[in-house]
Amino acid sequence: MPVYPPRQLALALDHAESYAREDFLSGPSNEAALALIDSWPDSWPARAVALVGPEGSGKTHLATIWAAAAGARVVSGRHLGETNLPAALATGALVVEDAAAVEDERTLFHLINLAREEGAFLLFTGRTMPSLWPVSLPDLVSRLRALPVVTLEGPDDALLLGVLLKVSADRQLALDDSVVRYLLTHIERSFAAARGAVIALDKEALRQGRPPSRALAAEMFRDSG
């Protein structure tokens, strides 16, 4: 069985995906959202805005970039009802991830009002438009409909290709062009799927003592996408 010292070390030290600004790959599907994040605070259309897009479109990455720039805390919509709102807004900025999952809509209503009173910034993320979030409180419905929204689309081929190549380079994994092209057409069209495919291929190649070839990719991803 072949030995791959550098890649074995990289595998042992595998880390979570980087959400640094320099690691965000931009393109037509997300350029408006990236421009919004980069324009804070001077050119924001309001103090509360929403990023909307499908899973894997880059919402969390952009929200993390903004949180670092704004000193914002981050809370999931599902746990907003358990959150001390004044403490969450202590830095003057807050990210609410997957805001449509908020179960206590009165807490969400109170958050929006409190942020307005304190002049704080709010960034909501979600897969659907705020006007479609499952809330019934009339005043909250009105406020959500008034939120400026920036949408992200699923990544195009160029962006997916960029993710595949970057993750491969990060793992010191040299992929033949035929492997990359095969993955590009046989995986789910999301950043998360592209990253996961390269990592899975790398690990399986090491496990089997085989090169990360198109044949191995076909065995693993023939029925994906």
Confidence label for 17 from pLDDT (cuts 50, 70 and 90): low
The answer on 180 and 202 residing in a single domain is yes
164 within domain boundaries: yes
Is pLDDT of 55 > 90? no
Please give the Cα distance from 178 to 16 (Å, whole number): 27
173 touches 197 (CB < 8 A): no
Q: What are φ and ψ of residue 150, in 5° steps?
A: -120, 130
193-225 pLDDT tens trace: 898 999 999 999 999 999 999 999 999 998 765
CATH of the domain at 56: 3.40.50.300
Burial 134-154, CB ≥16 within 10 A → b, else e: ebeeeebbebbeebebbebbb
The answer on 213 and 109 residing in a single domain is no
Confidence at residue 205, expressed as pLDDT on a 0 to 100 scale: 94
Task: Put the strands of the sheet holding 93-97 in their side by side order.
Answer: 73-76, 93-97, 121-126, 48-52, 149-151
Domain boundary among 115, 133, 151: 151
The answer on 167 and 140 residing in a single domain is no
Confidence (pTM): 0.80
Query: How many structural domains is the chain composed of?
Result: 2
